[in-house]
Every structure is written in C-alpha cells, then in structure tokens.
A = this chain, B = another copy of it.
Amino acid sequence: MVKVGIVGATGAVGKEILSVLHDRKFAVTSVHLFASARSAGKTLDTPFGPLQVQLFTVEAARAMDYVFLAVSGSFALEHAEAIAAPGGAVVIDNSSAFRMQPNVPLVIPEINGAAIGTKKLIANPNCTTAIAVMALWPLHCHYGIEKMIVSTYQASSGAGVEGMEELFNTTREALDNPDKTPSNKVFAHPLAFNVIPHIDVFQPNGFTKEEMKVTWETNKIFDETNMKISCTAVRIPILRAHSEAITIKTKRPITPADARALLSKADGVDVVDDPAANKYPMPLNATAKYNIEVGRIRQSIVFDEYGLDLFVSGDQLLRGAALNAVLIAEYLEKPYPSKFSKQIK
C-alpha cells in the first residue's frame, strides 16, 4: 500500500513527476493530486488515468506515504514540516526552501542517499547542481575536486510552463516581426534570440542566488565545506535541457582517458565524447532522457595535469527535478550504497 500525493501536478515539474512515476513503475497503490480551492474538483488527465484534484489540507497530505511538493518555496515553508511531522508522510520538496537547512538532507540518491537516515523531509537539489554533480561525483571521489568554474546554458523550463510558453510565443513574434523587440513577462528581458546572465535574485557578493546554489549545494551534497566554485548562470533560448561548461582543479593528477573510463561506470551518466564523429552532449539529445550526458573531456590548459574541462547536458525537468525526486522515493523503498566513495581527503 503506497499512497503518493503531488502538490503542483499541473506545473512543468508536477506533470513530469506523474510521468516518471508511471514510466518507472513505481509501486503506487493510489495517486492523489492536491491543490488549493481554486483548482480542487477539476479532473486531470494523467498517465494513471483521469484523476480528480483534491483540496490540499495538511491532514490529507499526512495520510500519504510520499508527498512530492512541486510548488513554491513559501508553500513548502508553510506546510512541509507539518506534513512530515511524526505519523505523517515523507516529503520530497522541489523548492529551495529547505535545501541549506542543516537538519534537512539534500539528496541525489546515487551520491548521498545515505544522508537521508531517518529524516522525513528531504530536499531535491537545484536543477543546475543536480545535473553537474552526476558527472562530478565520481571524479571528486577519485581525484578530489578542489576548485571549479561553471558557466551554464539554462533552458526556459527553469521558469516553469510559463517560461517555456513565453520562449515559444516571443520567438514566433521575433520571426514574424524582426524589427520589433519581443515582449517579456516571465523573464527579466526578452529571451527570444537573446541570452540573459541573470537567474534568481542578486546576492551582496554580486553572484545570483542561482549561481550560489551551485556552490552551496554541491558542497552539501558532497559533504564538503570548502570546495571553491565560481558559477555564471545564463538563461538561453532553448526549451528544457540545461548545459554547463565546467573546469575542475583536482588534488590528484587526472587525464581525460581516466575520467572517461571512470564516468562510464557511473549510473545516470552517459559519456558522449567522440568529437571525430561529432558526438558531444547537446540539449537536442539530452532532452526527455533520464541520464545526463558528459563529454568534451579534455586536459585543462589552465590547470594542466591537475585539471579538466568538460561539458554536460541534462534534462532540467528530469534529473534536474522530477526524476531525482522519484529516485529519492525509490531509494527509500529500497536503499543502496553509492557506487563511489571518497578515496582521498
């Protein structure tokens, strides 16, 4: 008897959670969609058949085994702890509200599932972080990542269904009327045929919160306190897969060939690195795919034998959100150790 509840089932992430649960044959006995009074009573077509949206109450949510929160941080802050309180449900929260709270595990199951312990409120990482760490964890375990520079190529889906629709609509505007600047509502500026180096709010140090999330969350997931990470997070006019150009400085010497061999053993990661055949990670192929892609692995010119440059692409809504959330629930049903563990300090 596994009862699953989803809050935010009409959003981009909520829809994908339903689809992933169904596709992976997660052993649910019933699926419950929760929403505010405004949406309660509506019927939604889902992979589990038509489901009627129920009014969200903490009591109703507590009656579930798992509750996926695919809504805002403020909703999570208000309700997550009450749902997860003793006797309640396991809460897997996709917002950033609890990610950096010391008593809340921030989890990529293949990396640090063991960090969950007996906790019942679990945070799902930021999408950019989640995609990158899939490729970085094996490297960190074997070579010790000391420093890292990340530049992102982030899709419109990071701003939800509204973001994806705005990109489509304004791109058409721009094509039909090239002399007019396209409009914008969801993004700070028009995104069609543009790039915007601004995601989430600016922090006092000049970095955006999105950029600092990569620094903060990677350290927490890897159980480190002092990996130095500088990120530039950039929104670009694509649909739903994020890419990242990453430079790492390692403690032990590393070669591209060794990195490829190691990464080819990792779950959730496809090494796509055959330049001679024009094969490298791209949103075109990473979209709608569970595994992230890593490639363009080369010896860093800046850090020589102690560094690599690489490129990753991953579906923002899957590994970056819904898939990882469902994998957390799967882990709790059947825990497993990480394939990799830290070989060096």
A interface, CB within 8 angstroms of B:
147-149, 151, 153, 168, 171-172, 175, 181, 188-190, 193-198, 202, 205-207, 215, 228-230, 232, 234, 236-239, 243, 245, 247, 249, 256, 275-276, 278, 280-284, 295-303, 307, 309, 311, 313
Q: Is the CB of B149 within 8 A of A278?
A: no
> Within the assembled complex, what's the spacing in Å between the Cα atoms of A8 and B188?
39
Given contacts A193-B238, A194-B238, 18 further A-B contacts (CB under 8 A): A149-B149, A153-B236, A168-B175, A172-B175, A188-B278, A190-B284, A195-B236, A196-B282, A197-B282, A197-B311, A198-B275, A206-B256, A229-B301, A229-B302, A230-B302, A232-B245, A232-B311, A237-B237
Q: Is the CB of B149 within 8 A of A302?
A: yes
Q: Is the CB of A202 within 8 A of B236?
A: no
Which B-chain residue is minimally distant from A310 (CB atoms)? B232
Q: Is the CB of B299 within 8 A of A206?
A: yes
> Within the assembled complex, what's the spacing in Å between the Cα atoms of A299 and B58?
44
Q: Is the CB of A298 within 8 A of B205?
A: yes
Report the minimum CB–CB distance from A317 to chain B (whole Å).
Answer: 15
18 contacts between A and B (CB under 8 A): A147-B302, A148-B302, A149-B149, A151-B232, A168-B175, A171-B175, A189-B284, A193-B239, A194-B284, A195-B238, A195-B283, A215-B301, A229-B302, A230-B247, A232-B296, A232-B311, A234-B243, A236-B236
